[in-house]
């Protein structure tokens, strides 16, 4: 492979990244032990019995909704690998939580939009378009079809900002890129580390 464009990037420690994944804290050994004992109890721990009652509720169903928010989008794309370093986009601060905006439609039948601004590690990064493509493929695969994505270069972080922005959001060019087997295999390589 040719020399990396940015051979010495700044790296953020994984543990310092905002995430919702694995935030469910591990139970202390103490709680585990007590739980193990309590599991032997015959008293029912599940208050939801009895079943099949005819209770009616207003809603279509009785579940509360967790709306798709910026954190969720960040978690989806943060673990994408950088094409030239063995690091993730979040570790390199290419994607940052504050640079993600989710605009929901009024209901699930209307379009929603996600705007992501990416920060290239250096201003002449030629891989910005590839990174953008990777993010787009990941989101298209992971979010419902009602979402539209706009991926832009963060203002003032790239020499040819407008050009890259155009390329990133040009449907035809994205579609053409996805037809290119070699390009696609690089993208898949980037996505293979997704958590």
Partner 1 sequence: MDTAPDPAVLVYQYIAASTSGDSTSDYSSQLAQLWSGKTLSLLQFIQTLGPTLTSEDVSTRVISLQCFANTLAEVDSAVISKQDVGVLLQFLTSKLEDEKLSSSTLNALASLVKAKNFIPHVNNNLKDLISAVIKDYDPRKHLAKVRYEAFLLLEAIVEKHQDTLATNEEFAECFVNAFIHVASGEKDPRNLLLSFKLNAEINTKIPFQERSSNKTHDELLSDLFDVCFCYFPISFTTPENDPYKITALDLKKQLRITIASQPQFSRDAFPSLFEKLTSTNPAVRNDVLQCLLLCVNNYPAEVLEQYWLSIWDALKFEILHNDILTFQPEADFIIPPNYESLEETDDNKTLILTLVVLNSLIQKLTDSEMFPSIMDTVLQGLEANYKSLVGKTLKPAVLLLSAMGSSSVTFFNRVVDTLFSFEVWGHYIRSDYQEDTEEDKEIDIVLTTAKQRDLIDNLGYVLTAQKLLGVPTNLEIYKDHILIFMGQLLQTSSNIEKSLKCKIVLQLTKLVVLDTFLSADEVSLVLTWFSENIKALIEDSSAKGEPDVLLLRITKSLTQITSEGPEESIQYYINSVITIILPPLLERVSQPLVLSVINQICLNYQFLEVLSIRYLNKLSYEDCDEDLSINLIESLIFSFKQAQSVRPFLATSWYSKFFPRFFTISQKRFADNVYLLEISGSLLGLIVRFCDKTKHEQILHDMIDLFFEGKTLDGFNFEFEISKPSAKISLLKHILANIDRNCSISDESVDSITKQLINLIPNIEDQIIRLEYLQVLAVVINKLAVNREEQVEQILSDLSPKSQFDQSSFELSIWIAKGLLVRVSPRGVAFLNKLLLDLSNNPDLDYCRLILRSFNVLAGDVDVFSNDGKAGKIISGVTNLNVKILYKQQIFEICSPKLISDYSSSEKEEKSEIFLSTLSILIQNVSAKVINPHLEAILPLVLNGLYSHNSCILEASLQTLDTAITQSPELVKRDMESLVKKLVSLGTTKIVINKKVVNKENIRLLSLDCLIKIFTEFEEAKVRGLQVGLTQALAPGLDDKKRSVRKKTTDLCQLLHEMDR
59 binds partner 1 (CB under 8 A): yes
Q: Which listed range, 4-12, 63-71, 98-106, 150-158, lies at the site for partner 1 (CB under 8 A)?
A: 63-71
Any idea what DSSP says for residue 90?
T
Q: Least distance to partner 1 from the beta carbon of 189, Å?
A: 10
- By beta-carbon proximity to partner 1, the closer residue of 166 and 195 is 195
Rounded to 10 degrees, what is the CA torsion of 104, 105, 106, 110?
-150
What proportions of the chain, in percent to the nearest 5, are helix, strand and coil? 35, 10, 55
Candidate residues 57, 107, 109, 182; the one interacting with partner 1 per rule CB under 8 A: 57
Q: Least distance to partner 1 from the beta carbon of 123, Å?
A: 32
Any idea what DSSP says for residue 4?
P
Contact of 19 with 75, CB cutoff 8 Å: yes
Q: Which listed range, 3-11, 113-121, 158-166, 183-191, lies at the site for partner 1 (CB under 8 A)?
A: 183-191
171 binds partner 1 (CB under 8 A): no
Any idea what DSSP says for residue 1?
-
* C-alpha span between 106 and 63 (Å, rounded): 19
Candidate residues 92, 102, 153, 191; the one interacting with partner 1 per rule CB under 8 A: 191
16 binds partner 1 (CB under 8 A): no
33 binds partner 1 (CB under 8 A): yes
Candidate residues 3, 13, 25, 54; the one interacting with partner 1 per rule CB under 8 A: 54
- For the chain, give me the number of helices (H) and strands (E)? 6, 3
Task: List the beta bridge partners of residue 116.
Answer: 100, 151
The residue assigned the tokens 């790239």 is 158
Q: Least distance to partner 1 from the beta carbon of 172, Å?
A: 23
Q: Least distance to partner 1 from the beta carbon of 122, Å?
A: 29
């Amino acid at each position: 492979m040719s020399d990396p464009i940015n051979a010495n990037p700044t790296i953020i420690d994984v543990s310092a990244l905002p995430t919702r994944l694995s935030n469910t804290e591990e139970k202390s050994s103490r709680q585990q032990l007590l739980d193990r004992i309590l599991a032997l109890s015959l008293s029912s721990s599940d208050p939801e019995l009895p079943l099949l009652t005819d209770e009616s509720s207003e809603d279509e169903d009785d579940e509360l909704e967790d709306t798709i928010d910026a954190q969720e989008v960040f978690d989806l794309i943060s673990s994408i690998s950088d094409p030239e370093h063995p690091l993730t986009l979040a570790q390199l601060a290419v994607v940052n939580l504050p640079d993600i905006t989710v605009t929901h439609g009024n209901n699930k039948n209307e379009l929603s939009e996600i705007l992501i601004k990416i920060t290239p590690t250096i201003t002449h990064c030629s891989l910005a378009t590839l990174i953008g493509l990777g993010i787009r493929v990941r989101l298209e695969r992971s979010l419902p079809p009602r979402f539209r994505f706009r991926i832009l270069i963060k203002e003032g972080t790239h020499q040819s900002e407008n050009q890259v922005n155009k390329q990133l959001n040009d449907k035809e060019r994205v579609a053409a890129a996805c037809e290119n087997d070699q390009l696609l295999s690089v993208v898949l390589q980037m996505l293979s580390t997704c958590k």
